[in-house]
Structure 1
Amino acid sequence: MEFCDECGSMMKTDGDEWVCGSCGYEKLRDKADESHMTSTAAREDSEVVDMSEVDDADIGPTTTVICPKCGHDKARYEMKQIRSADESETRFFTCVECSHKWREDDH
């Protein structure tokens, strides 16, 4: 990941350059510097993982929250940063009773 020297926004690659989508600043890519970066592009060989044989205790932490579908008061959860870094993480829940999935964002 590369950040703009002018405005601090995240930059994207365009051929041999990094380009800022916010202010238009451009700079040449440095292949040696990029060798330690990790790509977040989707993998084509990704597939659905069968979790039916996994014990619930091994899937993740649980919390007390009311399921909007069945009213049960326990759900597994995970938190992910899906918006910009200056905003809070999004919480994803899965009801341990009915497996209903929902998410909560801070407003």
Structure 2
Amino acid sequence: MRFCDECGSMMHTEGDAWVCRSCGHETLRDSEQEAAMTTTQGQSDDGPVDMSDVDDAEVGPTTKQQCPQPDCDGERARYEMKQIRAADESETRFFTCVECGHKWREDDH
């Protein structure tokens, strides 16, 4: 992958050139430079990772959080925080109940 020197957008290959679809900047392709780039082509997809033998303590942090499932009394959940909205907005918190495995998310409004 290559980024435009003019505007920073991702560039695309068109023939023997890299072309920015945002500003139109073009640069010639360099086969040596491209050989050093990492791609997903040829990488194997081994499918989902089997977590059945992993201790819950090794999976990640937990917090006191009431599971929203009506038939679950779970009070602890694993959590993960991700920035999925604009950088000036707070992160989204993703929870997984350690009792029933139910997943939910919380956003600041």
**Please, what TM-score do these two structures have when normalized by structure 2?**
0.62
Partner of 1:29: 29
Q: 1:11 to 1:84 in 2, by over 3 A?
A: farther
CA distance in 2, matches of 1:65, 1:35: 48
CA distance in 1, matches of 2:42, 2:85: 17
CA distance in 1, matches of 2:88, 2:24: 21
**What residue identity is the alignment partner of 2:10?**
M
Per the TM alignment, residue 74 of structure 1 is displaced from its structure 2 partner at its CA by 2.2
CA RMSD of aligned residues (A): 3.6
How many residue pairs align between the two structures? 107
Alignment deviations for residues 13-59 of structure 1 (CA, whole Å, 9 cap, x no partner) = 44543332323333223333344443356955331222111100111
Rg larger in structure: 2
Partner of 1:4: 4
After TM superposition, the structure 1 = structure 2 runs for residues 88-107 of structure 1, keeping only pairs within 5 Å, are 90-105=92-107
Q: Which moved more, 1:76-85 or 1:91-100?
A: 76-85
Question: Unaligned stretches of 5+ in structure 2?
Answer: none
Partner of 1:65: 65
% identical aligned pairs: 69
Per the TM alignment, residue 3 of structure 1 is displaced from its structure 2 partner at its CA by 2.0
Question: Unaligned stretches of 5+ in structure 1?
Answer: none
**What residue identity is the alignment partner of 2:25?**
Y
SS of the counterpart of 1:75?
strand
Partner of 1:77: 79
CA distance in 1, matches of 2:74, 2:31: 52
Partner of 1:17: 17
